[in-house]
Amino acid sequence: MAAVAIIETSSSHSASGDSDVARAAAGDRGAFERLYRLHVNRVFSLCARMVNDRSRAEELTQDVFVRAWERLTLFRGESSFSTWLHRLTVNVVLNARKSDGRQRSRFEENDDEAGGMDVYAGVVGMPLPPGDLLDLEDAITRLPPGARRVFVLHDVEGYKHEEIADMLGVTSGATKAQLHRARLLLRESLNR
């Protein structure tokens, strides 16, 4: 009985969301605001975990919804709106990363791509202060940027290696290596 109730709730929720998508695509800002309310936390979560900066993540979240509004008429309904919005979020974050990356110093770029644990020894390798318990969320923020992005996209968001490789412009072998590295670093952090 409970299962039926859940399905009904979910179904009506989805139908409502679908009609709001159609209304928003026709220019209804009220409907778009409802879509925002429905999806903002998920979009923000992805942004925050990808960029590791909550203020920046809030800016990017706004960018995502502005972009979604601009591109809503291009949404064909081939996937769910949630999936479409999610992919849009990834694109916005990665594009911002490229643009932010151009402003970073060469040293910082090298840090990002070097990939060795020793690069982050100051963060991951150092003994933590007594009583400082890292949970997974915190540990993710301490990952090197490249490993963090792949981990978030794969293990948190559920993208496949081929998709991530396509998004990041690298090989799937590289994303597998980054993912494994991220997992080992997280394990190390969590087991301290």
Partner 1 sequence: MTCDQFADKLPDFLERDVDDATRAGIEAHALSCAECGLLLADLRALRLSAANLPELAPSRDLWSGIAARIETPVVELKNGASTVYQNRGTQRRRGMWIGLAAAGLVAMTATVTHELTKRSIDARSAVVAARTDSVVGTRVAATTKDTGTAARPTVAAPTATLVSAKLSPEQTYDNEIARLRVVVNERRPQLDSVTVVVIEKNLKVIDDAIRQCRQALRKDPNSRFLMESLNDALDNKVQLLRTAATLPSKA
Alpha carbons 6 and 99: distance in angstroms, whole number: 43
User: Distance (Å, rounded) from C-alpha 166 to C-alpha 192?
Assistant: 35
Give CA–CA dist 10/120, Å, rounded. Answer: 43
Does residue 133 bind partner 1 (CB under 8 A)? no
Q: Does 13 bind partner 1 (CB under 8 A)?
A: no
Q: Is 121 in the site for partner 1 (CB under 8 A)?
A: no
Q: Fill in the per-residue mask, 56 to 85: x = in contact with partner 1 (CB under 8 A), - = not in contact.
A: -xx--xx--xx--xxx-xx-----------
Contact between 136 and partner 1 per CB under 8 A: yes
φ and ψ of 28, to 5 deg: -85, 110
Interface residues with partner 1 (CB under 8 A) are: 25-27, 29, 32-33, 36-37, 40-42, 44-45, 48-49, 54, 57-58, 61-62, 65-66, 69-71, 73-74, 136-137, 151, 155-156, 158, 161, 176-177, 179-180, 183, 186-187, 190-191
